[in-house]
């Protein structure tokens, strides 16, 4: 393995790990892949601190950052919608419904004075990070990235605005973009994205309708020679090898790191993941307003019930659920009420394979070793002779 993409990124193996845990980022980058820090939920100060922490541990070893930047956004002329205006748009009926879920499962309020990050807005409503997903809110994070030594910038919500792509290119930092359809891949190419991440239906988090087996070769054919990273459904070396055989230049993984020792997942969620099977996930709009694959739980079931309100569009659903989700997570860890039935997290269908908590470096080695062995058996004709 090894080629133009690994050279461009300065890594040994084309195995990239998206993670909200800086500890996973360090482990994967040190192992010879590339860790990419999911930073959409952070404030600019938090991101700056995390990047300084990473620099102290990684030195010159490459790593990346991933944000949720909208290419087009509402009220663009004014720099995006105002957060207070958005908070006021959340209907009371939805607030009552969420409160009803919390009451039914005996989830206590956050203790007096508890805040998370510095994200309590003017109305006293806690808001984790950038739940408005506007360029106005995200721009300070972009500025932190531009001043850093990251070696890859990735964007999840469509093509990054041209001024962002240009700014990274001026610093010789390649820009990657997630795409769930070949058409989106083409838009990335037209917009100046350097690496397209083809993310299939089975992936954890926000995801589209096309499965990786179909999407990867279609994307490779659609993007006119741009390198494609395959994402969605990759947690083993055989899956990585299959993605390379389908034409990808490398793989972009998320879920497989969630049951590592270095993951950000809480013990209750990690335990749920270890027990879960591939068909225990659901694509639900209940967290952010856009379909995102996650573990099925009493929370997703409540939002699926046709008798209940539909989730709000992004970003309103995220604003509505940010504080309740923190309550649910904390109560589940403390064993309070029946919060353990509600608690869940984004994860893909590969959750069925995640059956133990292991160090991230061990997971990395297992994937690349099995991938090498599989590709060897392809080359030697052993697979064809089956
Ligand atoms: C917990 C979790 C959170 C995610 N958040 C983001 C995100 O903020 N930005 C992004 O580009 N992708 C996000 N993703 C998607 C990953 O980048 C990746 O494409 C996906 O996990 C790959 O599929 P897999 O889960 O089957 O490995 C997230 C995935 C998970 C599991």
Atom 21 (ligand 1): residue with closest C-alpha?
Answer: 254
Does residue 119 have its Cβ closer than 6 Å to ligand 1? no
Please give the model's pTM, rounded to 2 decimal places: 0.94
Q: Are 174 and 195 in contact (CB under 8 A)?
A: yes
Task: Compute the CA torsion angle 168, 18, 74, 188 (nearest 10 deg).
Answer: 60
Does residue 178 have its Cβ closer than 6 Å to ligand 1? yes
- Between helix 237-245 and helix 360-379 the angle, nearest 10°, is 50
> Which secondary structure element, helix H or strand E, spans residue 191, and what is its range?
helix 182-191
Q: 379 CA to middle of ligand 1, Å?
A: 32
Q: How many residues does the chain have?
A: 386
Question: What local confidence, expressed as pLDDT, does residue 136 receive?
Answer: 75
Q: Which of 34, 188, 205, 234 to mutate to test the pocket of ligand 1 (most atoms within 8 A of CB)?
A: 205
What is the pLDDT tens value at each position of the chain, 386 positions in all? 457 999 999 999 999 999 999 999 999 999 999 999 999 888 899 999 999 999 999 999 999 999 988 765 445 555 556 667 788 889 999 999 999 999 999 999 987 766 654 444 444 444 444 445 567 778 899 999 999 999 999 998 789 999 999 999 999 999 999 999 999 999 999 999 999 999 999 999 999 999 999 999 999 999 999 999 999 999 999 999 999 999 999 999 999 999 999 999 999 999 999 999 999 999 999 999 999 999 999 999 999 999 999 999 988 998 899 889 989 999 999 999 999 999 999 999 999 999 999 999 999 999 999 999 999 999 998 887 88
Q: 358 CA to middle of ligand 1, Å?
A: 19
Q: 38 CA to middle of ligand 1, Å?
A: 8
Question: What local confidence, expressed as pLDDT, does residue 133 receive?
Answer: 59
Does residue 24 have its Cβ closer than 6 Å to ligand 1? no
Q: Are strands 281-284 and 292-295 parallel, antiparallel or unpaired?
A: antiparallel
Question: What local confidence, expressed as pLDDT, does residue 293 receive?
Answer: 98
Q: What angle do CA 19, 69, 181 make, to 5 degrees?
A: 80
Does residue 346 have its Cβ closer than 6 Å to ligand 1? yes
What values do phi and psi take at 375, rounded to 5?
-65, -35
Q: Are 249 and 346 in contact (CB under 8 A)?
A: no
Closest ligand 1 atom to residue 156 Cα is 11
Q: Which residues of 120-148 are buried (b: 16+ CB within 10 A; e: fewer)?
A: eeeeebbbbbbbbbbbbbbbebbebbeeb
Question: What local confidence, expressed as pLDDT, does residue 176 receive?
Answer: 98
Q: 205 CA to middle of ligand 1, Å?
A: 5
Q: Which of 248, 258, 242 is nearest to 293 (CA)?
A: 258
């Amino acid at each position: 393995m090894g080629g133009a993409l690994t050279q461009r990124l300065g890594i040994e193996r084309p195995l990239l790990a998206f993670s909200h845990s800086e500890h996973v980022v360090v482990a994967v980058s040190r192992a010879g892949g590339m860790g990419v820090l999911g930073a959409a939920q952070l404030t600019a100060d938090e991101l700056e601190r995390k990047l300084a922490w990473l620099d102290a541990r990684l030195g010159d070893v490459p790593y990346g950052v991933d944000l949720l930047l909208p290419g087009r956004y509402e009220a663009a002329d004014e720099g995006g919608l105002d957060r207070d205006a958005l908070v006021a748009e959340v209907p009371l009926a939805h607030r009552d419904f969420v409160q009803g879920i919390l009451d039914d499962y005996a989830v206590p309020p956050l203790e007096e004075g508890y805040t998370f990050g510095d994200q309590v807005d003017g109305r006293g409503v806690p808001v984790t990070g950038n739940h408005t997903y506007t360029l106005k809110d995200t721009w300070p994070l972009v500025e932190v990235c531009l001043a850093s030594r990251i070696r890859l910038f990735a964007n999840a919500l469509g093509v990054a605005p041209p001024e962002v792509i240009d700014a990274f290119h001026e610093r010789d930092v390649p820009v990657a973009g997630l795409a769930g359809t070949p058409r989106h891949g083409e838009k990335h190419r037209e917009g100046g994205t350097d690496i397209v991440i083809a993310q299939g239906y089975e992936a954890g988090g926000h995801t589209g309708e096309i499965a990786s087996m179909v999407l990867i070769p279609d994307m490779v054919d659609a993007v006119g020679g741009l390198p494609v990273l395959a994402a969605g459904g990759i947690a083993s070396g055989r899956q990585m090898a299959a993605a390379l055989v389908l034409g990808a230049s490398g793989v972009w993984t998320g879920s497989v790191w969630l049951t590592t020792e270095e993951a950000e997942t809480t013990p209750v969620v990690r335990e749920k993941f270890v027990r879960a099977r591939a068909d225990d996930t659901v694509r639900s709009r209940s967290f952010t307003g856009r379909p995102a694959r996650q573990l099925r739980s009493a929370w997703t079931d409540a939002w699926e019930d046709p008798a209940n309100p539909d989730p709000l569009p992004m970003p309103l659903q995220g604003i509505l659920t940010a504080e309740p989700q923190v309550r649910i997570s904390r109560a589940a860890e403390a064993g309070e009420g029946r919060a353990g039935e509600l608690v869940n997290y984004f994860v893909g269908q590969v959750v069925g394979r995640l059956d133990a908590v292991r160090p991230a470096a061990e997971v990395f080695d297992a994937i690349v070793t099995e991938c090498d062995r599989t590709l060897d058996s392809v080359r030697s004709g052993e697979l064809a002779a089956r």
